Structure formats: structure tokens, C-alpha cells
Amino acid sequence: MKLFVDTGQVEEVRQAAEWGIIDGVTTNPSLIAKAGRGFKETVLAMCEILPHGSISAEVVGTTVPDILKEAREIASWAPNIVVKVPMTPAGIQATRQLRQEGIRVNMTLVFSPAQALLAAKAGATYISVFVGRVDDIASEGMRTIEEVVQMVDAYGFESEVLVASIRHPMHVVEAMRMGAHIATMPFKVLEQLFHHPLTDIGLQRFLEDWNKAGLRIFDNPA
């Protein structure tokens, strides 16, 4: 399963990239606005940090001509950009056209298997299914992931299912159990994935035992 970080902060991408376990980044207009830097400079900095990763950057146009114009511009900035397009009739129509032009699309704001089917048929590279926002309204976001993964597998669509709007580590674990292709998460959730109290306790004990016995690895410590 690929792990993406969902952020507008270049420094978070840099840290995640140093750990070497990140396959890409997703941004959205809200995250870019919150980060407080220019859109193009932010996306290009991320592309440079992860040259072999996939960087999703979103259009803000809502008509077919506007979406196409913005998507072509954003895609021209770097080869590893995937353009995020909203799940609307105009977004679907634009996705079909962009696909023919070789521009990869991450279809965003997908909340139902029906919407995911349309995204897959339009040729979206990624289908971003939001889970946290559904949980927020007392429904089951992960249930949709299960159905969308089944749909993509059953019909052999090339689209990858991207679990978005992740709120906590269990969303990542459930995405893995369901066979989703990608999970994108806030940097904070990525950090949380590292932690287990028994790891901390275990490491502390190993080091105490080692030090008590006066053992060493190097014959001539520097």
C-alpha cells in the first residue's frame, strides 16, 4: 500500500521524505491556503523533494473549460504532478479529456460507490474516497472504501483507490485490511503510526541491560 502525506507544508513533506516511506503528497485548496505560501512554489518544492513520488495539486475551476485550462497549466509544472479534479459532471467530463491528453487525474470529494464508478469509467488515476468527513456525520466512511475496492477489482479498472480524509491510525490499518491502494494522511497521523508503548518499554530495557553489562560494539570507541 502506498502512503501519501496530506499537507500544504513543505517542511512536513521534507521530514516524511527523509524517513523514506512516503510515496507521494496530496494537497487541496484549504491546505495550501493554510500553509500561507504561493501555490506553484509550494507544489514545485514538493515535486523536488519527492522526484519519484506523486504530488496531487487541485484545480479550483468548476466548469469544463476552466478545469481543463487549470489542469493543463498545473500539469505542465512538473512530470510527477497528478491534477486533482472535483467529482462533478464537469469534473468527470474534464477527466475523460485530460486522460486522453495523458494528464493524470486524482478525482477528489468522492463519497459513494456510485461516484467512484463514474470516476473509474472516466479514467481517473486515483479515486479519493473521503472517510473522516463521513464518520464526522455519524456514518461509516470505511464501508465505502470496502465497496469501491471491490468494484475496482471486480471490473479490472486501472484506477487506484486512495483513502482520504484520514483522522487516525486505525483508518490507515482498516484501509490496509480492505486492500486500498493508497492512504493519504495528515503528518500527525503519519507520526502516530510509529508509536507503540511496548516498543518504547522494550527499547529502554534492552539499553539498560546492555549498559549494566558494560558491553560495547566497537573495540576502539571514537
User: What is the CA angle 196-199-202, rounded to 5?
Assistant: 150
- Interface with ligand E4P, residue 61, by CB under 6 A: no
84 as an active site residue: the answer is yes
**Sequence-separated (6 or more) residues with CB below 8 Å from residue 57:** 27, 39, 43, 74, 77, 81, 82, 83, 84
Dump strand ranges (E) for the chain.
2-6, 24-26, 54-58, 81-86, 105-110, 126-130, 160-164, 182-185
- Interface with ligand E4P, residue 28, by CB under 6 A: yes
By rule CB under 6 A, what string of x and - marks binding of each residue 99-138 to ligand E4P? ---------x-------------------x-x-xx-----
- Interface with ligand E4P, residue 54, by CB under 6 A: no
Compare residues 86 and 123 and give the one whose CB is closer to ligand E4P: 86
- Interface with ligand E4P, residue 168, by CB under 6 A: no
Q: Which of 67, 164, 172, 175 binds ligand E4P (CB under 6 A)?
A: 164
State in angstroms the smallest separation of the CB of 216 from ligand E4P: 47
Report the phi/psi class of residue 126: left, alpha or beta, with left for phi > 0 and alpha for psi in -120 to 50: beta
- Interface with ligand E4P, residue 26, by CB under 6 A: yes
Q: What is the DSSP letter of 18?
A: H
Compare residues 129 and 209 and give the one whose CB is closer to ligand E4P: 129
- The SS3 of residue 53 is coil
Q: Which of 67, 145, 184, 190 binds ligand E4P (CB under 6 A)?
A: 184
- By the 8 A CB rule, do 169 and 189 touch? yes
Q: What residues from 71 to 100 belong to the interface with ligand E4P (CB under 6 A)?
A: none
Least Cα distance to 25 among 48, 57, 1 occurs for: 57
Which residues are at the interface with ligand E4P (CB under 6 A)? 6, 26, 28, 108, 128, 130, 132-133, 164-165, 184
Active centre residues (catalytic): 84
